[in-house]
Amino acid sequence: MSAPTAVPTHPTFWRDRIVHRFVAVAGLSMLADLCTKELAVRLLGSSGYVDLTERLAFFLVWNTGVTGGVSVGPFTASLNVLVTVMALWLVLIVVRPMAQVDARATMALGLVTGGALGNLASIVAGPPGVADFIAVRLSADSTMVANVADLFLWGGALMLAPVALTLLRLVREERAAQLRVLPQNPM
Q: List, for residues 144-177, the tens digit of each pLDDT value.
A: 999 999 999 999 999 999 999 998 999 999 998 8
Residue 130, strand partner residues: 63
Which pTM does this prediction carry?
0.81
Over residues 124-129, mean pLDDT? 78
The pLDDT of 53-78, averaged and rounded, is 78
4-28 per-residue burial string, b: 16 or more CB within 10 A, e: under 16: eeeebeeeeeeebebbebbbebbee
Residue 5's Cβ-side half-sphere holds a number of Cα atoms within 13 Å equal to 1
**pLDDT 10s digits, 104-117:** 999 999 999 999 99
Q: What is the mean pLDDT of the chain?
A: 85
Instruction: Kindly state the helix (H) or strand (E) to which residue 134 belongs, with its residue range.
Output: strand 130-137
The pLDDT value recorded for residue 178 is 86
